């Protein structure tokens, strides 16, 4: 070489420039300029070559310690490029030889790993295919998503199989979710049909729960209970809600049916209509017999309470009791309890009232009843005014106040009837058109 001022084992100085001698397939290459002296500059680039040695050694150590050695193939390629352009003086051949050895080792491992990866991915693909036929869609969805993550984490396979197996897994994955969508649509239709089955039974049961055709409806309810079991699956929360409604309807009918059977034992030859009429008439007649304007004993009141419970049972069993019978029974029961209250009030003021002449007793009762009526009228007037001021949008509170007011008015009407009856008896005793009153 001409104009070489200073020779070096791995380079030389020519003019003011420092060159690296060619090696392997790489030609001579300028790596720097002389700064102080040719010797000092060569020494600088000799020392700098140690950096390249350390980088190659660090890479070799990382490869040795790594679990996923295949990931370092690209780093080896980058290291080759780095060394090919590195500015330093040293034995590059040994470094490239070291890289070649590492690469050969890695490629051998990669080849083995790609065979293993193919086996792993083939197994994952088989599991993914099985998910399509899994009846438990939610569990299958979780499983195929888990398989997808494992697929991503598993390295590549041999080139001969790579395109097909990747395509096949993506196809199966997409087919699963298409299949899931269709299955969910199908299940939605099935659930909708099942729901309609439950609702049809509820509708039918609701219509029959107050029927008086007890024996036939009893058999129908048994059939509906079996049909309920055969309606099919629906969401648990909805199934619980619908069953609770059906159970309540069953309770209503079978409570009525049980009481009806007791009545039937008393009147075995009677039809349901005849049983209803005879039982209601009997209870109403007894309640009316307890009404006594002269006295209401504790025994009479207690029996009246028992009759109220019997009447309640009758009205539960039979929903079509004549309105006239209802009105008679309620009037009689109201009279008994209003008279009982009147007699208690009188007894507190006149403990010896029973020893007085009948006309005097009647006068006292009429006087107290008039006072009770005046109090009721005042209370009703106030309640009417309060109700008029209430906000009707507060429906529950408004209806409660309205019901209480109607009850007060009904009791007032009963008191007026009792007063009229007492006045009539008093009038008969005195033989006058209008009763005369003595103040007490």
CA atoms of 164 and 170, how far apart (whole Å)? 10
Determine the average pLDDT of the residues in 225-252. 94
- DSSP helix/strand/coil, 6: strand
CA atoms of 173 and 170, how far apart (whole Å)? 5
The two tokens of residue 383 are 């309640």
Determine the average pLDDT of the residues in 240-246. 95
The β-bridge partners of 32 are 18
User: What is the per-residue pLDDT for 134?
Assistant: 84
Q: Could you give phi then psi for residue 284, rounded to 5 degrees?
A: -65, -45
pLDDT at 437 over 70: no
Q: Which residue has the tokens 């005046």?
A: 374
For the chain, domain boundaries: 4-110, 189-266, 271-338, 350-440
Whose CA is closest to 343, among 308, 291, 380?
291
Task: State the pTM of this model.
Answer: 0.53
CA atoms of 53 and 63, how far apart (whole Å)? 16
pLDDT at 73 over 50: yes
pLDDT tens, 291-341?
A: 998 887 889 999 999 999 999 988 888 888 889 999 999 999 999 999 999
- Between strands 17-20 and 11-14, the pairing is antiparallel
375 CB-side CA count, 13 A: 8
User: What is the per-residue pLDDT for 1?
Assistant: 46
């Amino acid at each position: 070489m001409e104009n070489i001022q200073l020779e070096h084992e791995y380079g030389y100085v020519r003019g003011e420039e420092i060159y690296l001698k060619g090696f392997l397939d790489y030609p001579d290459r300028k790596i720097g300029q002389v700064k102080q002296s040719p010797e000092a500059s060569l020494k600088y680039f000799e020392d700098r070559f140690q950096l390249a040695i350390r980088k190659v050694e660090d890479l070799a150590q990382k490869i040795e310690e790594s679990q996923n050695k295949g990931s370092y193939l690209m780093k080896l390629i980058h290291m080759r490029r780095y060394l090919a352009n590195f500015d330093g003086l040293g034995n590059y051949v040994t470094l490239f030889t070291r890289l070649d050895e590492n690469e050969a080792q890695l490629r051998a491992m990669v080849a083995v790993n790609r065979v293993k990866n193919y086996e792993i991915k083939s197994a994952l693909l088989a599991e993914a295919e099985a998910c399509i036929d899994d009846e438990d869609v939610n569990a299958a969805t979780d499983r195929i998503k888990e398989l997808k993550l494992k697929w991503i984490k598993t390295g590549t396979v041999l080139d001969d199989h790579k395109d097909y197996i990747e395509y096949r897994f993506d196809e199966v994955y997409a087919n699963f979710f298409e299949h899931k969508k269709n299955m969910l649509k199908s299940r939605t239709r099935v659930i909708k049909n099942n729901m309609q089955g439950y609702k049809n039974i509820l509708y039918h049961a609701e219509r029959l729960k107050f029927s008086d055709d007890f024996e036939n409806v009893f058999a129908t309810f048994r059939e509906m209970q079996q049909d309920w079991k055969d309606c099919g699956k629906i969401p648990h929360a909805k199934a619980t809600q619908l069953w609770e409604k059906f159970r309540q309807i069953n309770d209503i009918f079978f409570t009525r049916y049980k009481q009806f059977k007791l009545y039937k034992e008393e009147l075995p030859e009677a039809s349901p209509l005849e049983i209803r009429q005879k039982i209601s008439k009997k209870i109403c007649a007894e309640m009316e017999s307890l009404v006594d304007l002269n006295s209401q004993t504790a025994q009479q009141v207690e029996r009246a309470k028992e009759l109220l419970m019997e009447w309640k049972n009758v009205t539960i069993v039979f929903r079509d009791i004549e309105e006239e019978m209802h009105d008679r029974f309620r009037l009689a029961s109201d009279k008994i309890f209003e008279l009982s209250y009147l007699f208690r009030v009188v007894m507190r003021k006149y403990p010896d009232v029973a020893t007085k002449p009948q006309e005097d007793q009647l006068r006292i009762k009429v006087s107290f009843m008039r006072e009770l009526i005046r109090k009721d009228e005042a209370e009703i007037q106030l309640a009417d005014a309060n109700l008029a001021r209430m906000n009707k949008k507060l429906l529950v509170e408004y209806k409660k106040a309205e019901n209480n007011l109607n009850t007060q008015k009904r009791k007032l009407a009963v008191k007026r009837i009792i007063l009229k009856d007492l006045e009539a008896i008093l009038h008969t005793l005195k033989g006058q058109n209008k009763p005369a009153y003595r103040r007490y």
